[in-house]
Amino acid sequence: MDALIGVFAGLALSAAVGFRVFVPLLLAGSAARLGYLELTADMAWLGSDAALVALATATVIEVCAYYVPWLDNLLDTVATPTAILAGVIAWAAVTPDLSPLLRWTLAVIAGGGAAGKARDRQDANALVLRA
């Protein structure tokens, strides 16, 4: 049952990463730090001081960049590959009850795919709204 909850949590975090790259990772790291979320042993760094400071800084930059057009365009350029990588990390971090082979296979396919698809939909919506 815990593995199933981890799979759904990984899917939800990966999809959320497609919309805002750093906010879900910051929330997952904070939840792990406060004891609300169990991370895998190799992803425990997500709840460390350095990771939380870096993710908080990146979140502030990501949110504030929306108001600076050139910075927003620059971040949009790197957002899709970054979102896919963050989706893989998010999925792999919250599925501790799976074997490593299954965890990383699902992280790449489902986690990266969900983040990429959510990011793709956001980019498509932005094109429609700007037209």
Is the Cβ–Cβ distance between 21 and 62 less than 8 Å?
A: yes
**Crossing angle for the helix pair 49-64 and 23-33, to the nearest 10 degrees:** 150
Report pLDDT for 72.
Answer: 84
**Crossing angle for the helix pair 69-93 and 23-33, to the nearest 10 degrees:** 40
DSSP string, 23-54: HHHHHHHHHHHTTSSPPPGGGGGGGSHHHHHH
Which positions of the chain have pLDDT values less than 50?
Answer: 1
Is the Cβ–Cβ distance between 117 and 48 less than 8 Å?
A: no
Round to whole Å and give the CA distance between 50 and 48. 6
Report pLDDT for 33.
Answer: 94
Q: Give CA 82 to chain center in angstroms.
A: 9
Round to whole Å and give the CA distance between 19 and 66. 13
The C-alpha R_g of the chain, in whole angstroms, comes to 15
Report pLDDT for 18.
Answer: 84
Is the Cβ–Cβ distance between 80 and 99 less than 8 Å?
A: no
Is the Cβ–Cβ distance between 84 and 120 less than 8 Å?
A: no
Please give the structure tokens belonging to residue 66: 């929306």
Report pLDDT for 48.
Answer: 95
